[in-house]
Structure 1
Amino acid sequence: MTERNEALTANIARYPWYLFFRDGYFWGPVFFLYFSSVLSLSEALHLEAVYYVTVAAAEVPSGYLADRFGRRRTLMCSSGCLGLAYLLFLTGHTFWQFAAAQLFLAAGFASASGTDTALHYESLKDLGREAQYASLEGRALKYSLLAGGGAALLGGLAAAGHLRWVYGLSCATAMISLGIVMTMTEPEGAKGKVAAPFGPQLRHVLRKARGPRLRFFTLYALAMTVLLHIPYEFYQPYLKQALAWSGVGPSLVPPLSGMHLALTMVLGAFMTRFAGRIHHRCVVRRTLLACALLQVVLIGAMALVVHPLVALMLVGRTASRAVSTPLVNAELAPLLGRHERSTYFSLQSLLGRLAYGGALVMLSLGSGLFSDALHGALVCGLVLALFLFGGLFLVPFPWGEHPVCCRGGEHRASSVAHPAGDVHEKPLG
């Protein structure tokens, strides 16, 4: 094994640990409580606006920079921004200090979006191991979900001492993730291909996203962003209502919410093992639609009844993400050249954010249709979820040139066999 192959193999081994330490969001269960304990409610809401506007503005440019200047540098910038954001949250006392922290937080998340999975795929591709991408991406996602579950529990305990301590823990893990990225090697990718100037690059990626080979997965990622976020957005107030229905006091809601989140992450981590076992084209489509349908069922259950059993069902809301994300990434990565891969994934993330922003506006309008605002928002969410699922069901699936059904004895004839970074795209059969 050459020295470079050893370095790329080390990339693959370290990548799950990079995600583990980067995604240790100890602040997740209490960040809004912390904001509102230091600032007024109005200022806390303004902080959220600062974050969402910044991350939307930085999403695609950061992906372009990764295509232009490299994955490793962009991920180093991401971890550095996250660490600085957490340090500002830990030490800040004013709105402007917190606003600066939100800017760095948004830059950190935007810089990592799409760049992390691109580095992972390209490291495998340079070693000729891209066929293992789906299973190894699922394994890496398992580390991320376990980190989220553990951080939710530890963050709740740390917040009992002081709310700002959670940012000290997150700052430490962000610095560890920076150290891991610094030891990684930049994959070579396809030699001779560099990203075009930003405007032409963006137009090219938009055309490709609408093309027959990527259209289904682009729309699927957009729809799933909405379908995954609706249960996430409303599970805490729903859990509060379900526990009140059971006679549980309000003082027990925060710790039970933290346990609920931890169980959700652990179940999601367990489900990641199944993505790498799916090999046939018909099974890929059925699995992706089943993941979307699960979210529709969960949203429908929340909209129709308030009951502890539904709250327990919501533990499974991350299972869809755990299975679908590695599958979608494994389908998309080979169809994208190295010079456009991060730009596309960032564009996909931005479209999902914009779609969910529009959904939130729709849900806020729906909340006024019933005396119970939560019930109104969830009913509106169910209508939207059914519409999105119906659209996914009707969008043509890119079967490939020689589609092989699970009834046959061969492996799937997937896009992995014809990576777009190396050959010209061929029309679908």
Structure 2
Amino acid sequence: MMTTARSVIWRYYAYRVTGATGFYLPVSILYLRHEGFGLAFIGAAQAAFLFGMVIAEIPSGYLGDRIGRRASLAVGNGLRASAMVGLVLATSPVAYLVVKVVWAFGWAFRSGTQNAWLYELLKQYFDESEYARIEGRGKTGLLITSAATAIAGGYLYSIDAALPFVVNAALAAFGIPMLYTLPAVGDGATDSDDSVFTVREAVHMLRVQAKRPAVRWLVAYAALFNGLFGMTRTFEQPALDSLGVSVVGLGVLYAGFKLVSAGAASTVGVLEARLGIRGTFALLAPVFGIVYASIALSPVFLVPMLVCYRSTRVVIAPLRNQYLNDRLGDVGRATVLSGASMVLSTASGTANLVGGAIADSLGPVAFLPWAGLAVAGAAAVLWIATSPVRERDGSVTATTTRTTSTD
């Protein structure tokens, strides 16, 4: 049994590697910039991607619960691969926006479903309490792969701007056969009508979970930082470009970002054991207030800030999902996690839409410090007012039933 469990986990790690984005990531925003689009359109395009995720999150999460995790994840891989190719074939602003929405649907089919799938995979073959540690290691492998491919991506872009996207599309497509080497777990559809998770039940479960303070305020707190991270990711390439970093240099720099993030991801288990989820999340507001404000002192602090935000993002995601998973039952787990992802995407999309216009007038380097200070201040107020991270109590939903209870 232990040998089988280890084999399953290693195959899961191999699947995670196919989600690497290193080939195109260092040049994804520059590609649009060099196609003649300004920061306002780039912010709108990223907002279209994120709002597309909002539209797709509940259907994709429901599909993961209803017809099976693997099929839903395979659809996501296929859509992402198609969108990468579509981006280099697009010839108009409308076409770019359509491709972004298709790309968003591909990511949405992975978000909540992948989290639920891994949790249930561990529950069946290993130990679900190891979720944060296993996901942290999977993220480490993903980031190391992205680091290696980022260097190649910058070089490929210098040869032909389309190459990074096409090569990354092939990697995403390879994830589909990798998925089917793994066992099917957590499939919502069976021959018994009693076990079918209906749309009405999905909507009801979302409403019930949204009323639980332990869930609602954690998602709200995470959404603030997700909006900040989304804006930073959109405007970091124009900011670095304005400081004179070359395309090949961006590839090398992004490789460094990924390696540092990989090291950070490997510390998830340690942070959970030493600080706990509450202790880790409590540090976010003061840390990001300081590191974003530092850019106002000198643009040289931009790179350390980017290292900090990228490292922190890969740490808090598995901890956030561990926190939510521990408070959800098996039935409808992917739907609720997709609901949480929907809120995070809405926050990030709104931030990009508003931030794009401001960054276009101020410039990306001048804009980022003010964005960081605003979010850090709002997060500090929310932390004091609501205590978003709460301990589990005896009223947590049982994993074998559909009933829910409040905290």
Q: TM-score, normalised by structure 1?
A: 0.81
1:421 corresponding residue in structure 2: 399
2:18 corresponding residue in structure 1: 21
Q: Pick from 177, 180, 201 the counterpart of residue 179 of structure 1.
A: 177
Q: Does 1:352 align with 2:344?
A: yes
- In structure 2, what is the Cα distance between the partners aligned to 1:98 and 1:357? 16
Alpha-carbon distance, 1:84 to partner: 2.4
Change (3 A) 1:139 1:371: closer
Alpha-carbon distance, 1:210 to partner: 3.1
Kept in 2: contact 1:138–1:275 (CA 8 A): yes
1:160 corresponding residue in structure 2: 158
Unpaired segments ≥5 residues, structure 2: none
Query: 1:394-409 residue pairs with structure 2 within 5 A?
Result: 394-396=385-387, 397-401=389-393
Alpha-carbon distance, 1:9 to partner: 4.9
Instruction: List per-residue Cα deviations over 1:270-329 (Å, max 9, x = no partner).
Output: 012222124569632111221443223222222x22231443343222221222122121
Query: 1:299-318 residue pairs with structure 2 within 5 A?
Result: 299-302=292-295, 304-318=296-310
1:131 corresponding residue in structure 2: 129
1:274 corresponding residue in structure 2: 267
Structure of greater relative contact order (alpha carbons < 8 Å, 6+ residues apart): 2
Amino acid in structure 2 at the alignment position of 1:262: A
Q: Does 1:255 align with 2:248?
A: yes
Kept in 1: contact 2:64–2:187 (CA 8 A): no
Change (3 A) 1:280 1:154: closer
Instruction: List per-residue Cα deviations over 1:233-283 (Å, max 9, x = no partner).
Output: 333344355x4xxxxxx3x44333333322121111101222212456963
Kept in 2: contact 1:134–1:327 (CA 8 A): yes
- In structure 1, what is the Cα distance between the partners aligned to 2:218 and 2:176? 31
Change (3 A) 1:188 1:270: same
- In structure 1, what is the Cα distance between the partners aligned to 2:306 and 2:45? 28
Query: 1:330-409 residue pairs with structure 2 within 5 A?
Result: 330-363=322-355, 374-376=365-367, 378-396=369-387, 397-401=389-393
Q: Pick from 57, 60, 70 the counterpart of residue 59 of structure 1.
A: 57
Kept in 1: contact 2:81–2:169 (CA 8 A): yes
Kept in 2: contact 1:122–1:189 (CA 8 A): no
Change (3 A) 1:289 1:316: same
- In structure 2, what is the Cα distance between the partners aligned to 1:48 and 1:232? 10
- In structure 1, what is the Cα distance between the partners aligned to 2:364 and 2:113? 39
Alpha-carbon distance, 1:83 to partner: 2.2
Kept in 2: contact 1:67–1:338 (CA 8 A): no
Change (3 A) 1:153 1:9: same
- In structure 2, what is the Cα distance between the partners aligned to 1:40 and 1:309? 27
Kept in 2: contact 1:21–1:174 (CA 8 A): yes
Alpha-carbon distance, 1:169 to partner: 0.8
Alpha-carbon distance, 1:61 to partner: 1.1
Question: Radius of gyration: which is bigger?
Answer: 1
Instruction: List per-residue Cα deviations over 1:11-34 (Å, max 9, x = no partner).
Output: 322222212112234122223444
Change (3 A) 1:382 1:80: same
Amino acid in structure 1 at the alignment position of 2:154: G
Q: Pick from 293, 299, 314 the counterpart of residue 286 of structure 2.
A: 293
- In structure 2, what is the Cα distance between the partners aligned to 1:279 and 1:64? 30
- In structure 1, what is the Cα distance between the partners aligned to 2:100 and 2:231? 23
- In structure 1, what is the Cα distance between the partners aligned to 2:33 and 2:229? 26
**Which region of structure 1 is more displaced relative to structure 2, 370-379 or 205-214?**
370-379
Identical columns (%): 23
Kept in 2: contact 1:264–1:317 (CA 8 A): no
Change (3 A) 1:233 1:301: farther
Kept in 1: contact 2:46–2:349 (CA 8 A): no
Q: Does 1:234 align with 2:223?
A: no
1:412 corresponding residue in structure 2: none
Kept in 2: contact 1:195–1:201 (CA 8 A): no
Q: Pick from 110, 113, 123 the counterpart of residue 112 of structure 1.
A: 110
Q: Secondary structure at the match of 1:335?
A: coil
Q: How many residues align?
A: 400
Unpaired segments ≥5 residues, structure 1: 244-249, 403-414
Kept in 2: contact 1:86–1:167 (CA 8 A): yes
Amino acid in structure 2 at the alignment position of 1:83: A
- In structure 2, what is the Cα distance between the partners aligned to 1:172 and 1:373? 32
Kept in 2: contact 1:68–1:339 (CA 8 A): no
- In structure 2, what is the Cα distance between the partners aligned to 1:186 and 1:102? 30
Alpha-carbon distance, 1:209 to partner: 2.8
